[in-house]
Structure 1
Amino acid sequence: MHGTVDGFSYGLVTPLVAYLMACLGGALGLRCTARALRVAHSWRPGWLALGSAAIGSGIWTMHFIAMIGFTVRGAPIHYDKPMTYGSLGVAVVMVGVGIFIVGYRGATGTALFTGGTLTGLGIASMHYLGMAGMRLNGTFEYNTVTVYVSVAIAMAAATAALWAAGQVRGFLWSMGASLVMGLAVTGMHYTGMAALSVHLHTGGAPTAGDSPAALLAPMLIGPLAFLCLAGVVVMFDPLMATGKLDRTPVPHEPGVPAHPPLGHPARGARLHARRTVAHREPRTPQNR
Structure 2
Amino acid sequence: MSVEGSYSWPLVILSILIATLAAYTALDLAGRICSAIGTARVGWILTAAVAMGGGIWSMHFVAMLAYKMPMAVSYDVTLTAMSLALPILVTGIGFSLLLGGGVSWPVLLAGGLIMGVGIATMHYLGMQAMRMPMVIHYNDFLVAVSVAIAVIASTAALWLAFERTTFVRRLAAAGAMGLAISGMHYTGMAAANFVQHPPRRCFAFDGRS
Unaligned runs of 5+ in 2: 201-209
Match status 1:28 vs 2:25: yes
Q: Distance in 2 between matches of 1:104 and 1:41?
A: 13
Match status 1:196 vs 2:198: no
Task: Answer yes or no: is the 8 Å Cα contact 1:29–1:52 preserved in 2.
Answer: yes
Counterpart in the other structure of 1:44: 41
1:199 alignment partner, SS class: strand
Q: Distance in 1 between matches of 2:80 and 2:39?
A: 34
Whichever residue aligns with residue 44 of structure 2, its letter is W
Q: Distance in 2 between matches of 1:124 and 1:37?
A: 27
Bigger Cα displacement from structure 2, 121-130 vs 161-170 = 161-170
1:176 alignment partner, SS class: helix
For this pair of structures, how many residues does the alignment match? 200
Deviation at 1:19, TM superposition (A): 0.7
Deviation at 1:25, TM superposition (A): 1.0
- Cα distance change of structure 1 residues 164 and 141 upon mapping to structure 2, 3 Å threshold: same
1:194 alignment partner, SS class: helix
2:2 alignment partner, SS class: coil
Q: Distance in 1 between matches of 2:3 and 2:12?
A: 22
1:107 alignment partner, SS class: coil
Counterpart in the other structure of 2:205: none
Q: Larger relative CO (CA 8 A, sep 6+): 1 or 2?
A: 2
Post-superposition Cα deviations, 1:207-234, rounded to whole Å, max 9, x if no partner, equal xxxxxxxxxxxxxxxxxxxxxxxxxxxx
2:35 alignment partner, SS class: coil
1:83 alignment partner, SS class: helix
Counterpart in the other structure of 2:2: 2
Deviation at 1:44, TM superposition (A): 1.5
Q: Distance in 2 between matches of 1:4 and 1:194?
A: 11
Counterpart in the other structure of 2:148: 152
Post-superposition Cα deviations, 1:226-254, rounded to whole Å, max 9, x if no partner, equal xxxxxxxxxxxxxxxxxxxxxxxxxxxxx
Match status 1:170 vs 2:160: no
Counterpart in the other structure of 1:186: 182
Task: Answer yes or no: is the 8 Å Cα contact 1:48–1:103 preserved in 2.
Answer: no
Q: Distance in 1 between matches of 2:136 and 2:164?
A: 41
Normalising by the residue count of structure 1, what TM-score does the alignment of the two structures yield? 0.67
Q: Distance in 1 between matches of 2:168 and 2:38?
A: 27
Whichever residue aligns with residue 112 of structure 1, its letter is L
What does 1:100-119 correspond to in 2, within 5 Å? 100-119=96-115
Deviation at 1:106, TM superposition (A): 2.2
Whichever residue aligns with residue 116 of structure 2, its letter is G
Unaligned runs of 5+ in 1: 205-288
